[in-house]
Amino acid sequence: MKIFKKVMFLSFAIFALALSSCSNDNSSDDTDVPSSQEGFMKFKYNETVYTFSEPALMTSESINIMGSSGIDNTYKKISLWTPLNITTGSHPIVSDLSNLTTTYQASFSFMPEIENASATSGTINITANDDKKIEGTFSFSGTSKGKTFTVTEGSFRIIKW
């Protein structure tokens, strides 16, 4: 029985040691940097940086790359609209909801102060578009109920299915 207990203790110790050596150490300074296999949307609004993990990709007559978080009075959302034939490069944001199939557009919600407002100026820069992902940067501004909003330092990676 003593030998059995020693073998069990030794087995447990080896297992624990092996498990701890394989654990994910998140103590590095890169904890905010998603891996190349993860989607994200990051931006700055009112001098604060926000990150949405795993933004959605929806298509119909255009592509909508959308990140969001919260509910009701804490709801935050950015939608970037692109044509289906999305191309790399810098594209001006145009506020024309009647023409989603050919223009690059953005909308922004930051409840309770801004609810689904269209950007009136800015850019969407597509840096990568392949069969696995779409990546890029963005910045835009607009007005909602007389209040001007500006979103800066935006970046995103959307993983295609």
- Contacts for 89 with CB less than 8 Å, ≥ 6 apart: 125, 126
Check whether 9 has a pLDDT greater than 70. Answer: no
- Tell me the one-letter amino acid at 153: E
H or E element that contains 11: helix 2-21
Check whether 2 has a pLDDT greater than 80. Answer: no
Contact 77, 111 (CB under 8 A): no
Q: Which residue is listed with tokens 């009701």?
A: 72
Check whether 29 has a pLDDT greater than 90. Answer: no
The β-bridge relationship of strands 105-110 and 76-83 is: antiparallel
Tens-place pLDDT, residues 36-83: 568 999 999 999 999 998 899 888 888 999 999 999 999 999 999 999
